[in-house]
Amino acid sequence: MDGNGKRLSEQPPLDPMLARRRQMVFEQIHARGIRNERVLRAMEEIPRERFLPPEQAKNAFADAAVPIDAGQTLSQPYMVAAMTAQLDPQPHERVLEIGTGSGYQTAILARLAREVYTIERIASLQDAARILLRELGMENVKYRVGDGTQGWPEEAPFDAIMVTAGAPELPEPLIAQLAEGGRMVIPVGGSEEQTLTTVVRRAGRTIETPGMACRFVKLIGRQGWPDPAEE
């Protein structure tokens, strides 16, 4: 029996990967200067290891991006943390995510915001992410398959927008869907390297602040890179 009168066998099972996630957060994220406690806690709690194909499970806590299905990647833990801290989603806010991918970034956002609207152009990726997120109890996520560069206009405006693929320039439809005072974090640049850029909409104009260099898969769509399958 424990101090609350419950048999030890009735206690919830310990998370066998929690210690490894805490080590990942401390060594790769906190040590590099990210101090947003809500982001750090979410990344300790969300089981990153479950968002990878079985053959990549050994790389769940690597300090690098990891390949997933359909030629996409699960971003490096530090990059996920840096982008999320830069966006700083609040508990009352509605967030639009462009690029569901594995669903890992979606899960982090869902833990931090009131509602998440996520768009993915590859249906198989979003189907898998939807199943996993529901298994994890993430009920505040809405899903769409389509061109993320067009956003989700009927649900706009959004308090925050996270773009998880590299764009050649800022997609105008996404800027238009930002609420007054809303912000967007997006990699902008060439196909090989981008700059992580924060955009804030204020008084009908946008303020762009460039950040760190980064490298993401291409943002495919009418306001992004052309679809190679259509070339």
**By residue range, what is the domain housing residue 195?**
16-230
Inside any domain, residue 8: no
pLDDT of residue 230: 76
Assess contact for 145 and 166: CB atoms under 8 A: no
Q: Which of 9, 75, 124, 191 is catalytic?
A: 75
Average pLDDT taken over every residue of the chain: 93
Inside any domain, residue 92: yes
Domain containing 73 — which CATH number? Answer: 3.40.50.150
Inside any domain, residue 44: yes
pLDDT of residue 15: 83
Nearest partner of 145 among 162, 163, 115, 120, judged by Cα = 120
Inside any domain, residue 3: no
Dihedral, CA atoms, 98, 147, 207, 217, nearest 10 degrees? Answer: 60
pLDDT of residue 153: 98
Inside any domain, residue 9: no
Inside any domain, residue 5: no
Inside any domain, residue 170: yes
pLDDT of residue 5: 45
Q: Is 102 a catalytic residue?
A: no
pLDDT of residue 229: 77
Number of neighbouring beta carbons within 10 Å of residue 222: 11
Nearest partner of 130 among 100, 157, 164, 172, judged by Cα = 100
With a cut of 50, list the residues of the chain below it in pLDDT.
1-9, 11-12
Inside any domain, residue 7: no
What is the total count of domains within the chain? Answer: 1
Render pLDDT for 167-195 as a digit per residue (tens, 0 to 9): 999 999 999 999 999 999 999 999 999 99
Nearest partner of 63 among 53, 48, 50, judged by Cα = 48
pLDDT of residue 20: 94
Residue 28 to residues 45, 49, 84: CA-CA distances in angstroms? 16, 16, 15
Q: Residue 195: enclosing H or E segment and its boundaries? A: strand 194-202
pLDDT of residue 231: 62
pLDDT of residue 13: 53
